[in-house]
Protein backbone atom coordinates (compact mmCIF):
# COMPACT_ATOMS: atom_id res chain seq x y z
CA UNK A 1 0.00 0.00 0.00
CA UNK A 2 1.23 3.48 -0.84
CA UNK A 3 0.73 6.67 1.11
CA UNK A 4 0.77 9.87 -0.94
CA UNK A 5 1.84 13.35 0.09
CA UNK A 6 0.85 16.21 -2.23
CA UNK A 7 3.76 18.50 -3.06
CA UNK A 8 3.36 21.85 -4.79
CA UNK A 9 5.48 24.28 -6.76
CA UNK A 10 3.72 27.61 -7.23
CA UNK A 11 4.44 31.24 -7.95
CA UNK A 12 2.89 34.38 -9.40
CA UNK A 13 5.41 36.09 -11.65
CA UNK A 14 5.30 39.85 -12.23
CA UNK A 15 6.46 42.24 -14.91
CA UNK A 16 6.67 45.88 -13.88
CA UNK A 17 4.48 45.05 -10.92
CA UNK A 18 1.78 43.38 -13.00
CA UNK A 19 1.01 39.64 -12.62
CA UNK A 20 1.63 38.03 -16.01
CA UNK A 21 1.93 34.34 -15.12
CA UNK A 22 0.69 32.13 -12.32
CA UNK A 23 1.76 28.51 -12.14
CA UNK A 24 0.79 25.74 -9.75
CA UNK A 25 2.30 22.28 -10.11
CA UNK A 26 1.03 19.46 -7.93
CA UNK A 27 3.04 16.25 -7.82
CA UNK A 28 2.96 13.15 -5.60
CA UNK A 29 5.50 11.87 -3.11
CA UNK A 30 5.14 8.22 -2.10
CA UNK A 31 5.96 6.03 0.84
CA UNK A 32 5.22 2.33 0.52
CA UNK A 33 5.21 -0.95 2.42
CA UNK A 34 6.40 -2.73 -0.75
CA UNK A 35 9.87 -1.50 -1.74
CA UNK A 36 11.43 1.72 -0.56
CA UNK A 37 13.91 1.59 -3.44
CA UNK A 38 10.96 1.59 -5.84
CA UNK A 39 9.36 4.51 -4.00
CA UNK A 40 12.60 6.47 -4.28
CA UNK A 41 12.73 5.81 -8.01
CA UNK A 42 9.11 6.86 -8.53
CA UNK A 43 9.56 9.96 -6.38
CA UNK A 44 12.62 10.97 -8.39
CA UNK A 45 10.55 10.54 -11.55
CA UNK A 46 7.89 12.99 -10.37
CA UNK A 47 10.39 15.37 -8.81
CA UNK A 48 12.14 15.62 -12.16
CA UNK A 49 8.88 16.08 -14.07
CA UNK A 50 7.76 18.84 -11.69
CA UNK A 51 11.09 20.65 -11.99
CA UNK A 52 10.96 20.46 -15.78
CA UNK A 53 7.49 21.98 -15.76
CA UNK A 54 8.60 24.76 -13.42
CA UNK A 55 11.61 25.51 -15.61
CA UNK A 56 9.29 25.70 -18.63
CA UNK A 57 7.04 28.16 -16.80
CA UNK A 58 9.85 30.38 -15.58
CA UNK A 59 12.01 30.36 -18.71
CA UNK A 60 9.54 29.96 -21.59
CA UNK A 61 5.98 30.84 -20.61
CA UNK A 62 7.06 33.84 -18.56
CA UNK A 63 8.93 35.39 -21.49
CA UNK A 64 5.93 34.81 -23.76
CA UNK A 65 3.62 36.37 -21.17
CA UNK A 66 5.89 39.43 -20.81
CA UNK A 67 6.00 39.93 -24.58
CA UNK A 68 2.21 39.65 -24.81
CA UNK A 69 1.72 42.04 -21.86
CA UNK A 70 4.04 44.62 -23.44
CA UNK A 71 2.31 44.29 -26.81
CA UNK A 72 -1.10 44.70 -25.17
CA UNK A 73 0.10 47.77 -23.28
CA UNK A 74 1.62 49.39 -26.37
CA UNK A 75 -1.58 48.87 -28.36
CA UNK A 76 -3.97 49.53 -25.46
CA UNK A 77 -5.36 46.01 -25.54
CA UNK A 78 -6.60 44.17 -22.44
CA UNK A 79 -4.14 41.57 -21.16
CA UNK A 80 -5.22 38.33 -19.55
CA UNK A 81 -2.60 36.82 -17.28
CA UNK A 82 -1.19 33.46 -18.34
CA UNK A 83 -1.86 30.39 -16.21
CA UNK A 84 -0.24 26.97 -15.91
CA UNK A 85 -1.85 24.31 -13.71
CA UNK A 86 -0.75 20.70 -13.32
CA UNK A 87 -2.95 18.47 -11.15
CA UNK A 88 -2.75 14.71 -10.66
CA UNK A 89 -5.54 12.31 -9.72
CA UNK A 90 -4.94 8.96 -8.02
CA UNK A 91 -7.31 6.45 -9.62
CA UNK A 92 -6.08 3.20 -8.06
CA UNK A 93 -3.99 2.49 -4.98
CA UNK A 94 -4.14 -1.08 -3.73
CA UNK A 95 -1.46 -3.51 -2.57
CA UNK A 96 1.69 -2.57 -4.49
CA UNK A 97 0.05 -0.91 -7.51
CA UNK A 98 -0.78 2.78 -7.91
CA UNK A 99 -2.29 4.37 -11.01
CA UNK A 100 -2.74 8.08 -11.67
CA UNK A 101 -3.20 10.64 -14.39
CA UNK A 102 -2.04 14.24 -14.58
CA UNK A 103 -3.92 16.99 -16.39
CA UNK A 104 -1.75 19.91 -17.46
CA UNK A 105 -3.78 23.03 -18.21
CA UNK A 106 -2.24 26.01 -20.00
CA UNK A 107 -4.03 29.31 -20.54
CA UNK A 108 -2.39 31.84 -22.87
CA UNK A 109 -4.92 34.63 -22.67
CA UNK A 110 -7.29 33.45 -25.39
CA UNK A 111 -10.88 32.24 -25.33
CA UNK A 112 -9.96 29.11 -23.40
CA UNK A 113 -6.98 27.08 -22.28
CA UNK A 114 -5.81 23.65 -23.40
CA UNK A 115 -5.38 20.52 -21.32
CA UNK A 116 -2.92 17.69 -21.96
CA UNK A 117 -3.12 14.44 -20.01
CA UNK A 118 -0.52 11.82 -19.21
CA UNK A 119 -0.69 8.80 -16.92
CA UNK A 120 1.35 6.12 -15.21
CA UNK A 121 0.58 2.85 -13.45
CA UNK A 122 3.36 1.75 -11.08
CA UNK A 123 4.32 -1.60 -9.61
CA UNK A 124 5.96 -0.63 -6.32
CA UNK A 125 7.48 -4.07 -5.91
CA UNK A 126 9.68 -3.63 -8.96
CA UNK A 127 9.60 0.14 -9.56
CA UNK A 128 8.45 -0.49 -13.14
CA UNK A 129 5.47 0.94 -14.94
CA UNK A 130 2.77 -1.54 -15.85
CA UNK A 131 1.86 -1.66 -19.53
CA UNK A 132 -1.56 -1.82 -21.14
CA UNK A 133 -0.66 -5.27 -22.47
CA UNK A 134 -0.30 -6.50 -18.88
CA UNK A 135 -4.08 -6.19 -18.55
CA UNK A 136 -4.77 -8.13 -21.76
CA UNK A 137 -2.62 -11.24 -21.22
CA UNK A 138 -4.66 -13.56 -23.44
CA UNK A 139 -4.65 -11.45 -26.58
CA UNK A 140 -1.82 -10.67 -28.97
CA UNK A 141 -4.09 -8.31 -30.91
CA UNK A 142 -5.65 -6.57 -27.92
CA UNK A 143 -5.26 -3.15 -29.54
CA UNK A 144 -7.66 -4.21 -32.32
CA UNK A 145 -10.15 -5.32 -29.67
CA UNK A 146 -9.79 -1.96 -27.88
CA UNK A 147 -10.22 0.10 -31.05
CA UNK A 148 -13.29 -1.90 -32.04
CA UNK A 149 -14.85 -1.44 -28.61
CA UNK A 150 -14.08 2.29 -28.57
CA UNK A 151 -15.83 2.71 -31.94
CA UNK A 152 -18.86 0.88 -30.54
CA UNK A 153 -18.94 3.16 -27.51
CA UNK A 154 -18.64 6.28 -29.67
CA UNK A 155 -21.45 5.09 -31.94
CA UNK A 156 -23.69 4.74 -28.90
CA UNK A 157 -22.73 8.20 -27.66
CA UNK A 158 -23.31 9.74 -31.07
CA UNK A 159 -26.76 8.17 -31.27
CA UNK A 160 -27.61 9.76 -27.92
CA UNK A 161 -25.83 13.09 -28.51
CA UNK A 162 -24.97 13.78 -32.16
CA UNK A 163 -21.86 15.75 -33.15
CA UNK A 164 -19.97 15.11 -29.92
CA UNK A 165 -17.29 13.34 -32.00
CA UNK A 166 -15.81 14.14 -35.40
CA UNK A 167 -17.52 12.50 -38.38
CA UNK A 168 -14.39 10.56 -39.33
CA UNK A 169 -13.91 9.24 -35.79
CA UNK A 170 -13.15 5.61 -36.87
CA UNK A 171 -9.96 6.65 -38.67
CA UNK A 172 -9.07 9.15 -35.93
CA UNK A 173 -9.56 6.56 -33.19
CA UNK A 174 -7.07 4.29 -34.92
CA UNK A 175 -4.64 7.00 -36.00
CA UNK A 176 -4.45 8.72 -32.61
CA UNK A 177 -4.51 5.63 -30.42
CA UNK A 178 -1.67 5.63 -27.87
CA UNK A 179 -0.81 2.49 -25.95
CA UNK A 180 0.38 4.70 -23.06
CA UNK A 181 -2.90 6.62 -22.69
CA UNK A 182 -4.59 4.58 -19.98
CA UNK A 183 -5.08 4.41 -16.25
CA UNK A 184 -6.48 1.85 -13.86
CA UNK A 185 -9.51 2.09 -11.56
CA UNK A 186 -10.76 -0.45 -9.00
CA UNK A 187 -13.24 -1.76 -11.61
CA UNK A 188 -11.32 -1.65 -14.85
CA UNK A 189 -9.17 0.20 -17.37
CA UNK A 190 -9.83 3.66 -18.80
CA UNK A 191 -8.45 4.49 -22.26
CA UNK A 192 -8.36 8.18 -23.12
CA UNK A 193 -7.58 10.47 -26.03
CA UNK A 194 -6.25 14.02 -25.96
CA UNK A 195 -8.41 17.04 -26.69
CA UNK A 196 -9.12 17.45 -30.42
CA UNK A 197 -7.81 13.95 -31.25
CA UNK A 198 -11.22 12.48 -32.02
CA UNK A 199 -13.71 15.10 -30.85
CA UNK A 200 -14.31 18.86 -30.63
CA UNK A 201 -13.03 20.91 -27.70
CA UNK A 202 -16.47 20.88 -26.08
CA UNK A 203 -16.28 17.10 -25.62
CA UNK A 204 -13.20 17.46 -23.42
CA UNK A 205 -10.85 14.50 -22.99
CA UNK A 206 -12.72 11.44 -24.29
CA UNK A 207 -12.56 8.40 -22.00
CA UNK A 208 -13.56 4.79 -22.62
CA UNK A 209 -14.06 2.28 -19.84
CA UNK A 210 -13.13 -1.41 -20.04
CA UNK A 211 -14.23 -3.56 -17.09
CA UNK A 212 -11.60 -6.02 -15.92
CA UNK A 213 -13.86 -8.90 -16.99
CA UNK A 214 -13.54 -7.66 -20.59
CA UNK A 215 -9.77 -7.19 -20.47
CA UNK A 216 -8.80 -10.72 -21.50
CA UNK A 217 -10.41 -11.52 -24.84
CA UNK A 218 -9.20 -15.02 -25.66
CA UNK A 219 -8.07 -15.55 -29.26
What is the CATH classification number for the domain harbouring 159?
A: 3.90.640.20
Domain range spanning residue 172? Answer: 132-214
pLDDT tens-digit readout, 108-117: 988 889 999 9
Asked if residue 121 and residue 137 are part of one domain, the reply reads no
Asked if residue 136 and residue 122 are part of one domain, the reply reads no
Q: Comparing 174 with 72, which gets the higher pLDDT?
A: 174
pLDDT for position 218: 44
Asked if residue 80 and residue 179 are part of one domain, the reply reads no
Asked if residue 110 and residue 136 are part of one domain, the reply reads no
| Residue 9 to residue 14: CA distance in whole angstroms | 16
Residue 168's contacts (CB-CB under 8 Å, 6 or more residues apart) are none
Asked if residue 111 and residue 18 are part of one domain, the reply reads yes
Residue 197's contacts (CB-CB under 8 Å, 6 or more residues apart) are 172, 176, 206
Is 52 within the bounds of a domain?
Answer: yes
pLDDT tens-digit readout, 56-102: 999 999 999 999 999 988 898 899 999 999 999 999 999 999 999 99
| Residue 92 to residue 71: CA distance in whole angstroms | 46
Asked if residue 97 and residue 54 are part of one domain, the reply reads yes
Domain limit, last residue, from 66, 95, 129: 129
Is 219 within the bounds of a domain?
Answer: no
pLDDT tens-digit readout, 179-199: 999 999 999 999 999 999 999
pLDDT for position 216: 60
Mean pLDDT across 200-216: 89
Query: Does residue 177 carry a pLDDT above 60?
Result: yes
Is 15 within the bounds of a domain?
Answer: yes
Count of domains observed in the chain: 2
Residue 74's contacts (CB-CB under 8 Å, 6 or more residues apart) are none
Mean pLDDT across 126-149: 90
What is the residue-wise DSSP string for 138-175? T-TTHHHHHHHHHHHHHHHHHHHSTTSS-TTHHHHHHH
- Give yes or no for a contact between 163 and 174, defined as CB atoms under 8 angstroms apart: no
Query: Does residue 6 carry a pLDDT above 80?
Result: yes
Q: How many CA atoms lie within 13 A of 25 on its CB side?
A: 18
| Residue 85 to residue 115: CA distance in whole angstroms | 9
Asked if residue 95 and residue 24 are part of one domain, the reply reads yes
pLDDT for position 156: 96
pLDDT tens-digit readout, 8-52: 999 999 999 999 999 999 999 999 999 999 999 999 999 999 999
Query: Does residue 219 carry a pLDDT above 60?
Result: no
Q: Assign residue 76 a region: left if phi > 0, alpha if psi is -120 to 50, beta otherwise?
A: left
Asked if residue 173 and residue 152 are part of one domain, the reply reads yes
Asked if residue 47 and residue 148 are part of one domain, the reply reads no
Is 180 within the bounds of a domain?
Answer: yes
| Residue 130 to residue 114: CA distance in whole angstroms | 28
Asked if residue 113 and residue 139 are part of one domain, the reply reads no
Asked if residue 198 and residue 160 are part of one domain, the reply reads yes
Mean pLDDT across 139-155: 92
Domain limit, last residue, from 129, 147, 181: 129
* CATH at 88: 3.30.565.40
Asked if residue 102 and residue 36 are part of one domain, the reply reads yes
Answering whether pTM is above 0.75, one says yes
Domain limit, last residue, from 73, 97, 129: 129
Amino acid sequence: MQNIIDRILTDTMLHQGVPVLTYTIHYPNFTTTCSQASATYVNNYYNYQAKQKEDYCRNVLYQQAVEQAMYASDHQFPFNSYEFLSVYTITYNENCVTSLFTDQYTYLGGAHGDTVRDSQTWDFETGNQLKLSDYFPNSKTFTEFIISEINKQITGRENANPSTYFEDFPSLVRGNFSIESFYVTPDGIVIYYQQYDIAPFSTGIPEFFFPFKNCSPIE
